[in-house]
Amino acid sequence: MRYTAQFLLSAMAASQFPEPNLAEIAFLGRSNVGKSSLLNALVGEKAAKVSSTPGRTRAINFFSLLDLNQRKKLIFADLPGYGYAKISRSISAGWAEFIDPYLAIRSTLKLCVCLVDSNVPPQENDAKLFEWLRAAGRDFVVVATKIDRLSGNERTRNLLALKKGLELEEVLPISAKTGYGVGELWKRIEAVGKVEE
Ligand code: GDP
């Protein structure tokens, strides 16, 4: 099924979140992991552009996903990319104020799509995030981005290293560039969003 994304709003505080009345999918990852490119591959350029507009990179950007009949089916929530710095109490500076609360209490949040770079070894801040999501009882799927950059052997090796290092049962390889894995991710999203005709 094809969707188009319609920008809803940028929230910098919990009071600004949209009405919780549709299944929501959140996208999380470190800066430069390929989140804009993946959003682009999933729903087209518009969402990626809005999210990378200066001033909106530190907000949660919400999008409505419309089906071919212009019916609102899902919400995508694009969370700010978190940093490279070692983290102590929270995942990254600024998270404690409204991103932690969003992930903790958002009633309509059905799935977190967490991005890790398939070219980069397991990172501590990703591990912390997954630990946090598990403790919060959130369903999440981890995708390994930019898989097109790796040869067959490297793919196998890096995916295994990510699974081990981040204590994951599954990592979905994906490429925004070639479209590899994008259909599979859509399946996961549609399954939890219970999107029906
Ligand atoms: P963001 O900061 O997480 O939104 O990351 P971007 O989507 O802006 O991507 C960061 C860099 O990685 C850019 O130079 C992209 O062109 C590159 N990139 C993103 N996705 C892919 C991919 O699937 N394959 C390849 N080869 N490069 C990618």
> 176 CA to middle of ligand 1, Å?
8
The protein residue with its alpha carbon nearest to ligand 1, atom 2, reads 32
Alpha helices, H only, the chain: 35-43, 45-51, 95-105, 124-136, 152-165, 182-193
> 105 CA to middle of ligand 1, Å?
30
Residue ranges per structural domain of the chain: 4-193
> 120 CA to middle of ligand 1, Å?
13
Residue 168 pLDDT: 98
> 149 in ligand 1 pocket by Cβ < 6 Å?
yes
pTM as predicted? 0.93
Tell me which of 88 and 1 has the higher pLDDT.
1
Cα–Cα distance, 122 to 11 (Å, whole number): 30
- Express each pLDDT in 72-99 by its tens digit: 999 999 998 876 544 445 556 666 677 8
Q: What CATH number has the domain spanning 4-193?
A: 3.40.50.300
Q: Which residues contact 35 (CB under 8 A, 6 or more apart)?
A: 27, 28, 29, 51, 78, 81, 115
